[in-house]
Amino acid sequence: MRARRLRELIASGRTIAAVGATDALSARLIESQGFDCVYIGSYATAASRFGLPDTGALALPELAEHARTIVNAVKVPVIADAEGGFHDAANLWRTVQAFEQAGVAAIHIEDHAYGKHAAVAQRLRPAAEAAARIRAAVEARTDPDFMVVARSDAFWVSRDLEDTIARLNLYADAGADLVFPTLVGPGELAEVRRRIDRPVMIVDMPGRALAEHGEAAVVLYYAFSALVQFEALGRALEEFRREGKLPGGVAAFEEFLGYGEFAARARRYGGG
């Protein structure tokens, strides 16, 4: 049902903000503020669960199980990062199965084979190999509403828009529901929209409001919760070390988590 809801949101023509969560609590906060969906990626998972940079070191079970905890905490659709698919095309059904069973509404699969940092030599998968992975993922899904998003990092790696568009067209022909060119600006995004017959997912363009991403169907604010938590907790710890005082009370926090609902159930059903 949530996968169908995501399809409906994308079909509406609005630009959807998919705000990045780090965990179930941040996902619930995102939902509580009225956002239509939640995103969980390898960047936030590596940082929040393991205190690691996002360098491709996470395994399928780590990402899928973390996505499951977020799905279970909210009612809105969850979009998840499936990295490069973790398996070759013939075995990619296991990746799709893991995320479908976790309850996510969509995954994106990338053609980045190695690198993900400016100081390291980057390597992309051959386009035909990446397209085969997309086709395998599309054919492996059991829920027809579950969405497979094809991500190309060609523009990020080489600033080659023609190669990016050629790759994304191959992936669209393989059955991708959306295409995802990383790190494009407004001009490149408009060209992708003009030349590829699929809705487009992008990461946010720094310094631009959501309304300025109007050519995109979905904008991933992938680092939102991770950055806010890093900065806010750092400031609070500095203040605590300096002044020795804890921040505010716990009443609002516990109300949000549902302690009151537990108390109501205990009164109704007994316990202890």
Which residues have a catalytic role annotated?
54
What is the rounded distance in angstroms from the CA atom of residue 164 to the CA atom of residue 233?
39
Best CA proximity match to 215, nearest among 206, 207, 205: 205
Q: Which of 104, 136, 73 is nearest to 6 (CA)?
A: 104
Cβ contact 205:245 at 8 Å: no
At a CB cut-off of 8 Å and minimum separation 6, what does 201 contact? 108, 149, 151, 178, 179, 180, 216, 217, 218, 219, 220
The Cβ of residue 241 has, within 10 Å, a number of other Cβ atoms equal to 8
Residue 265 in tokens: 């159930």
Nearest to 66 by CA among 35, 30, 20: 20
